[in-house]
Amino acid sequence: MSIEILRIQNLQKYYGAKLILDDVQLSLSRGERAVLVGENGVGKSTLARLILGQELYDKGEINIPSQVQVGYLPQEVDVDTEITVRDYIERTIGDLNAIRDRLRELETQMGDTNNLDAVLAEYGRLQDTFEQRGGYTLDSRLEQIFAGLDLNHIDSSRTMQSLSGGEKTRVGLGALLLQEPDLLILDEPTNHLDFVGLEWLENYLLTYPHALLMITHDRQFINKVATHILDLSAMTHSLTTYYGNYDEYVEARDRQYQQEVDAYHGQVNQMKALRQQMKKEAHGHRKRKKLLDGDKYIKHFQEAQSQRTASKLIRSASQQLAELEANKLDNPRHIWNIQFEFEPAPLTSTEPIRLEQVTMRFGERTLYRDVSGLVRKGDRIAIVAPNGTGKTTLLRLIIGELTSATGKIVVQPSAKVGYLDQEGEQFDESQNIVAVLRDIHSQTDDELLTRLHKSGLFRDSHLAQKSVADLSLGQRRKLGLACLIHSRANVLLLDEPTNHLDLMSLEALEDALTQFEGAILAATHDRWFIENVATQVWRLVDNELVVE
């Protein structure tokens, strides 16, 4: 029998007058691995914060047994203090350290025979808890987890502030896995992992003994790990549960959508037929038998009978129509249709970018040596390599932000290069999102708003006045894509383009990129993207570039 870890009933949450979550129902038991999906900004992280008790909800219940320990990994681990990596880990697994210290205290008290029974009873309870939480295997698990997440190169005496954003997130993830809470909530855990780290994490979570709630849009990861998928709707603000992996979810979701479309059109046709019937009866179009001139009495009788029948039919049709109007179905085709409509400037060169014997060093460290490569018109190239081996550096060399030690990079005059950085750091934080686009190319506000809306950045026009500083990571990514489109770039350099995007936006972006008429060079760890979008793969291996 499975042990329920989390139960949510009739949950409702508002931010001011804006409804975020409505009638949310969720049950999660030990051993279940649920993935929460939905549009950027729909409320996934809000739901996580409500479960954690970091925010208050307006209605409903969230029930977590008192003995259940909850752990949470946000999208970005933000550590402001000068705490060391070692201290950060010990703080995260603090209850294990506290239990271990108490066990040692109790061991010294066992010589006191006056209180031996109480000491042994407490010792037995704590020992069971310590064992269940993996306390006795802590050191070996630390070594296993840090090796799997590629953290062995980090000195534990370093401060968390000195780490890169990706390293902070991986240290945070490693500490949580060591803690092994009863309910582990992970927000985009795959964003800073390379292929080896992804595979390791997938296999580790498959054997995780407790409950998992994950927010991720890594489709291969979902296929491998999920036992069921929770779809948070931007239309209803509620959850729909789909059992199975990503492929099964897409099949069931599309089937349900088609059923909703059919039901909507069936109702529209039924309402149309009822209105036509009422109009027909009201105008007396019912056929009557032809009567002889002398049958005036019968004629009046039949006319009265016909009017009564028509009135009855009109009342019946009106009642049916009123019931349908009261339970009118929403048009499912009115969902947000995200479209990344690239209109690149003409690219006349068939070979817009060429790398010739490029060597790149940082101090004494050589990232790559004598690298050569050719980007042709129509290419969609995925740059693949472990973290820290130079994928982003290669993109920055091409746009001229960095200079190579030797060799040269030739960018043809007709190549209008657009760059999407990994975290949206190129924006002026003080600007609103309309002003960001206007700086690239001036258009009317309505034209700019239409472009931003198509890129999935907002549903309501007033949100277009938000400053860049107020945007989420997913919204920054969509703004970056809108800027690429607006610039009419015909050569796209994309650094982890699928990070932080929701499934709807991912599918729309991939459709747009496969139809892009210029050239694409993308640094990515997204295995789905590589298999379904890339036409060629560049691998950085042992300081060299291998073209596949």
The Cα–Cα gap between 504 and 482 comes to: 16
Q: Measuring CA to CA, how many Å separate 445 from each of 171, 449, 451?
A: 44, 6, 10
Q: Can you give the pLDDT at residue 459?
A: 65
Asked whether 339 and 508 are in contact (CB, 8 A), the reply is: yes
Q: Which two tokens stand for residue 519?
A: 């050239």
Backbone dihedral region of 336: left (phi > 0), alpha (psi from -120 to 50 degrees) or beta? beta
Q: Which CATH architecture has domain 79-181?
A: 3-Layer(aba) Sandwich (3.40)
With cut-offs at 50, 70 and 90, classify the pLDDT of residue 201.
very high
What letters, b where the CB count within 10 A reaches 16 and e where it falls short, cover 76-114?
bbeeeeeebbeebbbebbeebeebeeebeebeeeeeeee
Query: What average pLDDT does the segment 406-412 reach?
Result: 94
Our CA angle for 246, 252, 254, nearest 5°, is 100
Q: Give the lowest-confidence range in 62-66, 164-168, 493-497.
A: 164-168
pLDDT over 70, % of the chain: 93
Q: Which two tokens stand for residue 397?
A: 């060399």
Q: Can you give the pLDDT at residue 303?
A: 64
The Cα–Cα gap between 234 and 504 comes to: 12
Q: Can you give the pLDDT at residue 86?
A: 82
Asked whether 26 and 2 are in contact (CB, 8 A), the reply is: no
Q: Rounded to the nearest 5°, which phi and psi values hold at 358?
A: -85, 125
Q: Can you give the pLDDT at residue 299?
A: 56
The Cα–Cα gap between 12 and 23 comes to: 6
pLDDT over 90, % of the chain: 40
Q: Give the lowest-confidence range in 158-172, 272-286, 495-509.
A: 272-286
With cut-offs at 50, 70 and 90, classify the pLDDT of residue 409.
very high
Q: Which residues pair with 72 in a beta bridge?
A: 185
- In what order do the strands lie in the sheet containing 211-215? 70-73, 183-187, 211-215, 33-37, 228-232, 239-243
DSSP assignment of 330-399:
P-GGGS--------PPP---SS-EEEEEEEEEETTEEEEEEEEEEE-TT-EEEEE--TTSSHHHHHHHHT
Total Cβ atoms within 10 A of residue 129: 15
With cut-offs at 50, 70 and 90, classify the pLDDT of residue 285.
low
Query: What average pLDDT does the segment 460-473 reach?
Result: 76
Residue type, 74: P
Residue pLDDT, tens place only, 333-370: 656 678 888 999 999 999 999 999 999 998 888 998 99
The Cα–Cα gap between 102 and 97 comes to: 9
Query: What is the DSSP pairing of strand 183-187 with strand 211-215?
Result: parallel
Fold matches, 79-181 and 353-547: yes
The Cα–Cα gap between 162 and 170 comes to: 14
Asked whether 187 and 75 are in contact (CB, 8 A), the reply is: yes
- Specify the pTM: 0.77
Q: Rounded to the nearest 5°, which phi and psi values hold at 479?
A: -65, -40
Q: Can you give the pLDDT at residue 294?
A: 53
Query: What average pLDDT does the segment 167-192 reach?
Result: 88
Closest Cα partner for 302 from 318, 287, 319? 287
Q: Can you give the pLDDT at residue 169?
A: 84
Residue pLDDT, tens place only, 309-322: 777 878 888 888 88
Select 353-547's CATH number: 3.40.50.300, 3.40.47.10, 3.40.470.10, 3.40.630.10: 3.40.50.300
Q: Give the lowest-confidence range in 184-188, 260-264, 345-349.
A: 260-264
With cut-offs at 50, 70 and 90, classify the pLDDT of residue 44.
very high
The Cα–Cα gap between 422 and 416 comes to: 20
Total Cβ atoms within 10 A of residue 413: 8
Q: Can you give the pLDDT at residue 297?
A: 57
The Cα–Cα gap between 195 and 15 comes to: 39
* DSSP assignment letter at 173: H
Arithmetic mean of pLDDT over the chain = 86
With cut-offs at 50, 70 and 90, classify the pLDDT of residue 462.
low
Query: What average pLDDT does the segment 248-276 reach?
Result: 89
- Domain borders along the chain are 79-181, 253-334, 353-547
Residue pLDDT, tens place only, 105-124: 888 888 776 778 888 888 88
| Three-state SS at 86 | helix
Asked whether 519 and 348 are in contact (CB, 8 A), the reply is: no
| In the block, residue with structure tokens 């409509």 | 341
Residue 298 has pLDDT above 60, yes or no: no
Q: Can you give the pLDDT at residue 123?
A: 87
Q: Can you give the pLDDT at residue 301?
A: 56
Residues in the chain: 548
What letters, b where the CB count within 10 A reaches 16 and e where it falls short, cover 361-384?
eeeeeebbbebebebebebbbbbb
